[in-house]
Amino acid sequence: MSHYLVLSHAEVQNANTVAGFTWGFPAITQFLGFIHALGLKCNEVFKEDYTFSTVGCAVVANNVTQKTFWNKGNYEFLQTKRTPTFAKDKSSSPPIIEEGKLNMIVSLIVELEGELPVTSGAIKVFEENIKTLCCSMRIAGGTVLDIKQVKLFSHSTSEEQDKKLRRKIKSLVMPGFVLKDRSQYLADHYENLLADDPNSEKLDAWLDFFALKQQAQLIEGATANEAEWSYVPKPEKGYLVPIMVGYKAISELYQAGEVANVRDPNVPTRFVEAIHSVGEWIGAHRIDDIDDFIWRYEYQDDIWYLCKQKQPVQQLSTSSPNPEKLTDSEEISLNDALDLILN
């Protein structure tokens, strides 16, 4: 039986706001990485009492504050200068490595499977321990300052009990917006572009969801130089945003020790590129089935490392059309690197 662990209104400071080509919110992989690490820590703490695993999580944004400033018509990240500890000449100006940061309040609905406490007293102790563990960890590279509430719920097969469960969970995560996968929008829009223009690029289909575009329309009865400009509507309605949803291998698997200067030389290494897609922010009050909003890992052929939701979706990949044949010396274009998985 599945259980839901709700981390309500977690305050996170200095989290990563850059994800692949995009910025504005951490990548889904960072949230799934957090709950994976949480599951490992929990199994160490509760190994004598409970054994469970973290399956996936839904992400609800309650408040987001970007650390940017407006400079001559563009947003720029706030930067700091920190002298490297290994610098020999402390009087020299240290370099700035550009980083994008944000402060955010997020709520996570974590799906659990396995043995968990059932009595009210044991559940209360469990929730307190989970809160302590979370506050000692990082979410998307940011420091967890506080979590308003931690609640454990058991999923019921009864329809009436399931409605009560949804109401309780929604009351804990509101007000906020939950992230929904809309990769199918991207696939459908690209097919429509190909029908109108066979030379359409897949990158254009992706950008159509976020770029602000205008087109000129001649004024009837006016000269050729007079026109009215109007905004081009997005392919679909909704609060649509670009998101990063995983990685794809672009090299063969190298055994431990074959690649120099990697983070962990004791494990195999494979080079990857980020996968991008389309997501939609939906009001948390519109959650009907929690399972539809849970992001889970999916591995395919040791090449794809994806974050997906319940329904089958199409993804936008940063790889060549034939990644199995890609060699280290091959060069690929940007359009090939942003290839839709449509087949």
Q: Report how far Cα 168 is from the mean position of its chain's Cα atoms.
A: 25
- Report H helices in the chain: 28-45, 120-135, 159-173, 183-196, 202-207, 334-337
- pLDDT recorded at residue 220: 76
pLDDT band of 321, cuts 50, 70, 90: very low
Domain boundary among 140, 175, 210: 175
| Same-domain check for residues 160 and 213 | no
- 307 within domain boundaries: yes
73 is written with which tokens? 């018509």
Q: Are residues 290 and 224 in the same domain?
A: yes
- Confirm whether 83 is domain-assigned: no
Task: List phi, psi (to 5°) of 211.
Answer: -75, 140
- With b for 16 or more beta-carbon neighbours within 10 A and e for fewer, the 26-63 pattern comes to bbbbbbbbbbbebbebbeeebeeebebebbbbbbbbbe
Does the structure show a pLDDT above 60 at 113? Answer: yes
Angstrom distance (rounded) from CA 163 to CA 267: 45
User: Using CA atoms, how far apart are residues 181 and 311, in angstroms rounded to an integer?
Assistant: 9
Asked whether the predicted pLDDT for residue 176 surpasses 90, the reply is yes
Q: How many domains does the chain have?
A: 2
Q: Tokens 């509507």 map to which residue?
A: 233
Q: Domain check: are 154 and 122 in the same one? A: yes
Domain annotation covers residue 91:
no
Whether pTM > 0.75 for this model: the answer is: yes
- Give pLDDT, residue 63: 94
Instruction: Return the residue matching tokens 């407006």.
Output: 70
State the amino acid at position 155 in one-letter form: H
Are 167 and 23 in a shared domain? yes
- Residue 215's DSSP bridge partners are 230
b/e for 69-89, b at 16 or more Cβ within 10 A? Answer: eeeeeeeebeeeeeeeeeeee
Query: Is the Cβ–Cβ distance between 343 and 194 less than 8 Å?
Result: no
Going by C-beta distance under 8 Å and a sequence separation of 6 or more, which residues neighbour residue 20? Answer: 27, 244, 274, 275, 276, 318
pLDDT of res. 342: 36
Please tell me which of 33-47, 155-169, 304-318 the model is most confident about, judged by mean pLDDT.
33-47
Residue 90 lies inside a defined structural domain of this protein: no
Q: Which residue, of 155, 175, 195, is where some domain finishes?
A: 175
- Note whether residue 63 is domain-resident: yes
Q: Are residues 199 and 231 in the same domain?
A: yes
% pLDDT > 70, the chain: 83
Element (H, E) at 113: strand 101-114
What distance in Å separates the CA atoms of residue 186 and residue 342, rounded to the nearest whole number? 10
- Give me the half-sphere count of Cα atoms (radius 13 Å) on the Cβ side of residue 136: 10
Residues 329 and 202 in one domain: yes
Q: Find the domain containing 144 and state its range.
A: 2-70+98-175
Residues 66 and 12 in one domain: yes
β pairing state of 52-66 and 295-300: antiparallel
What per-residue confidence (pLDDT) applies to 45? 86
Give the pLDDT mean for 126-147. Answer: 93
Q: Are residues 248 and 154 in the same domain?
A: no
How far apart are the C-alpha atoms of 7 and 11, rounded to whole Å? 10
Same-domain pairing of 297 and 242: yes
* Interatomic CA distance for residues 58 and 153, integer angstroms: 15
Provide the β-strand partners of residue 299. 305
Give the tens place of pLDDT for each residue, 193-251: 888 888 888 888 888 898 888 888 877 776 667 788 888 888 898 899 999 989 999 99
Q: Within a domain: residue 75?
A: no
**What one-character-per-residue DSSP string does 206-275 give?**
HHTTT---EEEEEPTTS-TT-EEEEEPPPSS-SEEEEEEEEEEE-SPPBPTTSSTT-S-TTS-B--EEEE
Does residue 91 carry a pLDDT above 80? no
Does the residue 208 lie in any domain? Answer: yes
Amino acid at 241: V
Residues 210 and 103 occupy one common structural domain? no
Average pLDDT of the chain is 83
317 plus 193 within the same structural domain: yes
- The sign of the torsion formed by the CA atoms of 206, 207, 208, 209 equals positive
Of 118, 151, 175, which residue sits at a domain end?
Answer: 175
Q: Do 61 and 164 sit in the same domain of this protein? A: yes
Please check whether residue 234 is in contact with residue 264, taking contact to mean a CB–CB distance below 8 angstroms.
no
Local structure of 141: helix, strand or coil? coil
- Per-residue pLDDT band for 150 (boundaries 50, 70, 90) equals very high
Q: Could you tell me if residue 198 is inside a domain?
A: yes
Q: Report residue 323's pLDDT band, with 50, 70 and 90 as the boundaries.
A: very low
